[in-house]
Each structure stands twice: as C-alpha cells, then as structure tokens.
Structure 1
Amino acid sequence: LPVIAASIYRMKYFGESKKPKYNPKQDYGLNFARMMKVPDKKGYAELARLYFILHSDHESGNVSAHTMHLVGSALSDPYLSFSAALNGLAGPLHGLANQECLGWLIEVKNKFGRVPTRDELYKFAWDTLNSGHVIPGYGHAVLRVPDPRYMAQLEFAKKRFPEDELVRLAELVFDVVPQVLKEQGKAKNPAPNVDAISGTLQYYYGVREFDFYTVLFGIGRALGVTANYVWARALGQPLERPKSLTTKMLEDVVAKAAQPA
C-alpha cells in the first residue's frame, strides 16, 4: 500500500510515472516518507508511523471498518473486502472530515492574517454557528472526551514545531471551541476528534493536496481492518446478516412512542 499510495501521489501531482521501490530493510513509515516528495523525510517518517497507527482501527462501528468486516464475512478475499471499505471511506461523511478541518483553520488564519486572539476566535466561532454552519472536527458519535488520537498528534506537533501558526491555531481552537459548543448546548461531546488536527500535520510537512488525505487515512486503516479480517476467519465468525424491520413493526414503534406517558 505505501508503494501504491506514493505512486499515485507522484503521478497525480508531479506527473512522474516511475514506481518507487519498497526497501524491506526499512520500516513502513520510513519507506513511505522516502517515496513521498517531502523535504524532511526523517521528520515525515516519524509522522507517518504515528499517523498510520492512529488511523489503523477505531472500533467496528465506523463505515470502513464495518464494511471490511461485512464483506469479509461472505468469505470475500482481503482485496475485495478492503476495496469495499475504501469505497465507504470515500464517502464525504466518513473520509472528508480532516480536509474540512484543515480548510476551516486556514480560513480562520486568512481572515485575521495571523493567529487570532482568544476573544477574536471566540466571536468567530459563534459567527460560524449562528450562520448555520458547523465547526468541523469537534464532536463525535461515540467519544465523550477529547479523542486520544487528537491528543497524540497535538503533542507530536507541540514537541517538534510548536511555533507553526496552524499548530498554534489548532491548540487555541482546542481551548476555545469546546466552551462555545457547551454554551450553545447542542453538542453532546464538544471535544475534538482526530480529524481536528491530522491535516495540519500533513500540511506542515508539505503534503498540501487535500484530496490525498483520505488516501493516507486508507493506508493506516488497512493495518487494523485486515488484522480483524484475519481474526474473524480464525474464530470462524459467521456471515453477517442483520435482522430487518417490517413496516408494521415500525408503525408499532411510532404508535407506542405517541401514547401519553
């Protein structure tokens, strides 16, 4: 996968048709960094190791992980199963979030021409919500605390390039936006998720082609879902077949809910 992804990157954005070579003596992250056209290959290798592990798995309820398990339960081979998972990841509700988060940070920075003050960001966040938009990267369907994957990437950035303006802005957003969302009262979990900063780190190292970020997500996700695929076969898990609901069953549920307490 690192070879395929790096080949796509070099061909699509730089017009290079020669396939880079994988070095079996180097680890996964270093191989990928070496094949990518980034200036700081050593630093990017450290990020790649972290990024791929953090995106490798995230319980089985998300679209890509569940799709891999579902298709694999039919005894489809790993290629077919993972291809289906990536088709799910290609959907904007699943794989587009990191691009949207980075785009919003850049929008904030461009509006002020710098990293805004806390008060300026507080007002901008409220203006965003009052205009009917959301603040991407904050809130999660499952987590009720700051996403540990977000925290790991934030610590990585603060340790290596703390003065980068987008990193400083991301940290300021982490301080301000949860408070705004709590005051608004709509979000069950106002804490950041992994997407709130992952694009920022890629941007720092020179990977600034937003539509490639989902490919990076896919490389990492492959590690976790294929491991689970193997476990499912080893444990002899059956074909997945969720139960269906008839229209009559749904009508009964609605009728019961409409009855006075």
Structure 2
Amino acid sequence: MKEKQSAQALFELTTDHLETGLRGVPVGYCPTSLVHPEKGLFYRGYSIVDLVTKPPEAVIYLILNGELPTERELSVFKESLCENAHASKDILKTLQSYPKHIHPTKLFIAALTLVGAYDIKKDLRESGTQLIARITELTAWVYRVLNNWGPVNESKPELGYIENFVHMLAPPGVDIAKLTSYMKYFLILHLDHGGGNLSTFVGKVVASAHSDLSESLVAAMAGLAGPLHGKANQESLKFLKEAATHISDPDDEAQVEAFIRQKIAHKEKIFGFGHAVLRTEDLRATVQYDLGDKLCPSDPTFRLAKTFRKVGPGVLSEFKKISNPYPNVDAVSGCLLSALGLSDENYYTVLFGMARCIGITAQIFYDRLIARGGRGTPIVRPKYLYNGPVR
C-alpha cells in the first residue's frame, strides 16, 4: 500500500512553503502515533484515553512493537528492563563533577552522552532496550545531583518502571504514592506525539546518518531544550503563578477572564492553550484534569488552572487568528507536578525528555530497520535554494 502511496501527489509545493519550518510538509511515515485534529492522540491505533490506566511497561511495549503485550510478553519485557536497568556508576561520578548551577536539561543531555560513552551496545534494538531501561535512573541522578538531596537511592527495577523511578528520585516531603500515580500518567501521555515535532524529527534526522542511539537522542533533547518546544510546560506553570499574583480567588471566573483579556490587549501569550494540529481540547489535558481532581483537588494552582480551562476557550475563540482556543497538555501538567512535590519547573523538560526519548527510539527503529521494506530511510538531505547575489 505504501509503495502505491509513494507514487501519489500529496500536495503542491510552492515558494510560499519555504522558510516556514516545513510546517505541514509530509516527509515520511510515523507508525507509532497519530495526532488527529478532533480525536486527539493515538498510539499504534489506540486512543491515549484507553492507555493511561495500563501499566507503563505495557504501553512502552506497544510503542516499540506495535501491539499490546500478552501477560507472558509483558513479563518477559519487564525482565529485560530489569536486566538492563543499571547504568555505569562512572556516569554518576562524572555528573557530580558538573557545576551545580547548570540547567537540568543540559545535565540530562550530558547523561545521555555519557551513556553512549560507557554503556551503549552496537546493536540498535539492544541499545534501545538498554537506554529505555536506564533513562529513569539517569533522570533521577540529574534531580538528586543538582538538588543536593544526598546519596542516590540504589536502583530497584523489580519495583516497576515508574515505582523504581520515584524510589530513586525520593524527593523529600512528598507523598510517594500520589507522585507515583501521577508519574505513570505523565510518562504515558508524553511518550510520543507524531514524527514532525522538533525533537523527534531532529533525532530521526541524526539517526539517518547512522549515528548511534545516544548521539541521536542527544540531538533530539537539544531541540527539546529550546523555549519554543520542550519548555512549554514550565512556562505554563510560570504563567499560572504570575496569574495567581493578580487573582485573589482561583475559582473566580471574572478575575481570570479579566487577566486573559489584559494579556491579549498587551499582545502577550496565553500559555497552555492552542495546538498546531488539534482543534479541540487536548485529551492529554482532559485526562490530567480528571486525575488532578482525585490527587490534589484543593491545590490553589490546580484550581486556577481549572478556572482557566472554563474561561479561556470562550475568550480566545473571539479572536479569528486563534485556530485552537482549547487547553493543551501543558496547561495542567506543570501545576500537577508542582502540587505533588516537584515544584522546580526547571526540571520539567527533563521529565518530558525522559518519556519522549522512548517514543523517539521507537521511531528510529522504524526508520533504520523497517522503512522501505527493511532497507531503512536514506540520510536526510533536503535542498536549499540559493537566494544570494549573482555576480
């Protein structure tokens, strides 16, 4: 079917498409996930709503292999994650030597680089399993090293993928059960999001040169670190915190509406709303609003986020330039992380990256090992038109 599709004209390319960030320009296939404008996010044909209550390991297996696992397959996959879960302690020692003022995302990128230096296997699938098994440990190390929370808890992968992550993270004064419950949702909701978002695309481009998985993910995470991409969840929390200084009652719809209108009047961004593809509320946000009602219903920032959810679409829809006035995943993820004990928003991109590296890995598997009948995609080599002087 794909051979036939490849011979079809997909759309007309004109000079108007140049220097627009390839927006809307198809460049390949993505079998792992679909972002439908009205129905939301799907992984391998399953709506994200139907997946968030499943074990994270089962959803990771689905992303990697195309089908939900049987009980036996899930058991074997969990065993594989356990066997590959321990990263070299030399990586931790090196991370501890970095300056403590470094941004967490930079240290996370350094950790991925070091995995490539110490741990990565040559076989692509083996290195993928290894990296997925260890990325929670790397993320916990980044948190604990920069926060001076004391010795890092020893990895206990037999606890479960996210259970072990929270065990290693062990933030002081936190309800571990609630944080674990939320992080399972957070991981699943952020695993994958089509092939055209910047970090995924960059990772796939670098992988097309047959760079190893560590190098490809380092490039992807450098893209994620940009303020126009992976920092959206932390910017949304900052936005809510700013709003809270102007709004005396987080449940007061009139005050929230006035704040939104004031921001628009000053041509300032309303963080957490809108999406490049979606034309309705992001189901990843819907799921999190419901979860927040169970885990932290009285948290003032979460209550404020819910009021923005009620008021925002009505106000934003008045402006024709806004194609999607509805909340996206970032509208609520930051305030839930904060409410459940991870209050420093500078680390949110690292948590995002921890999850997204898994989806990017699955897409690299497809591009390198499955695409074009197993030949893989060629090295990415677009054409740029010269527009300099002619002498």
TM-score by length of 1: 0.90
Moved more, 65-74 or 161-170: 161-170
- Residues 1:72 and 2:207 are matched in the alignment: yes
| Structure 1: stretches of 5+ with no match in the other structure | 249-261
- Residues 1:242 and 2:382 are matched in the alignment: yes
Q: CA deviation at 1:215?
A: 0.5
SS where residue 52 of structure 1 aligns?
helix
Q: Determine which of 31, 35, 44 is the counterpart of 2:168.
A: 35
Alpha carbons 2:152, 2:168 under 8 Å: kept: no
Query: Residue in 2 aligned with 1:150?
Result: 285
| Structure 2: stretches of 5+ with no match in the other structure | 1-134, 371-375
- Residues 1:3 and 2:137 are matched in the alignment: yes
Query: Residue in 2 aligned with 1:256?
Result: none
SS where residue 247 of structure 1 aligns?
coil
- Residues 1:231 and 2:366 are matched in the alignment: yes
Query: Residue in 1 aligned with 2:323?
Result: 188
> Partners of 1:197 and 1:52 in 2: how far apart?
14
Alpha carbons 2:144, 2:169 under 8 Å: kept: yes
Select the structure that is richer in helix: 1
Q: CA deviation at 1:174?
A: 0.8
Q: CA deviation at 1:245?
A: 2.9
> Partners of 1:167 and 1:156 in 2: how far apart?
11
Q: CA deviation at 1:102?
A: 0.8
Letter in 2 for 1:5: T
Moved more, 190-199 or 238-247: 238-247
Letter in 1 for 2:312: V
Query: Residue in 2 aligned with 1:90?
Result: 225
Alpha carbons 1:3, 1:19 under 8 Å: kept: no
Letter in 1 for 2:232: A
SS where residue 87 of structure 1 aligns?
helix
> Partners of 1:24 and 1:101 in 2: how far apart?
32
> Partners of 1:141 and 1:57 in 2: how far apart?
15
Q: CA deviation at 1:163?
A: 2.2
Matches within 5 A, 1:104-123: 104-123=239-258
CA RMSD, Structure 1 to Structure 2 (Å): 1.5
Aligned length: 247
Q: Determine which of 5, 8, 25 is the counterpart of 2:158.
A: 25
Higher relative contact order (CA 8 A, sep 6+): 1
> Partners of 2:234 and 2:157 in 1: how far apart?
32
Query: Residue in 2 aligned with 1:47?
Result: 182
> Partners of 1:153 and 1:112 in 2: how far apart?
23
Alpha carbons 2:195, 2:363 under 8 Å: kept: no
Aligned identity (percent) is 37
Q: CA deviation at 1:37?
A: 3.1
Q: CA deviation at 1:82?
A: 0.2
Matches within 5 A, 1:167-178: 167-178=302-313
TM-score by length of 2: 0.61
Alpha carbons 2:153, 2:167 under 8 Å: kept: no
Q: CA deviation at 1:15?
A: 5.2
Q: CA deviation at 1:20?
A: 2.9
> Partners of 1:134 and 1:118 in 2: how far apart?
19
Residue deviations 1:148-199, cap 9 Å, x none?
1111111111122222222221111011111111113321111111111110
Residue deviations 1:179-230, cap 9 Å, x none?
1111133211111111111101110111111111110010010111111111
SS where residue 245 of structure 2 aligns?
helix
> Partners of 2:142 and 2:249 in 1: how far apart?
34
Letter in 1 for 2:377: Q
Alpha carbons 1:7, 1:20 under 8 Å: kept: no
Alpha carbons 1:101, 1:195 under 8 Å: kept: yes
Q: CA deviation at 1:237?
A: 2.1
Q: CA deviation at 1:19?
A: 3.4
> Partners of 1:42 and 1:71 in 2: how far apart?
39
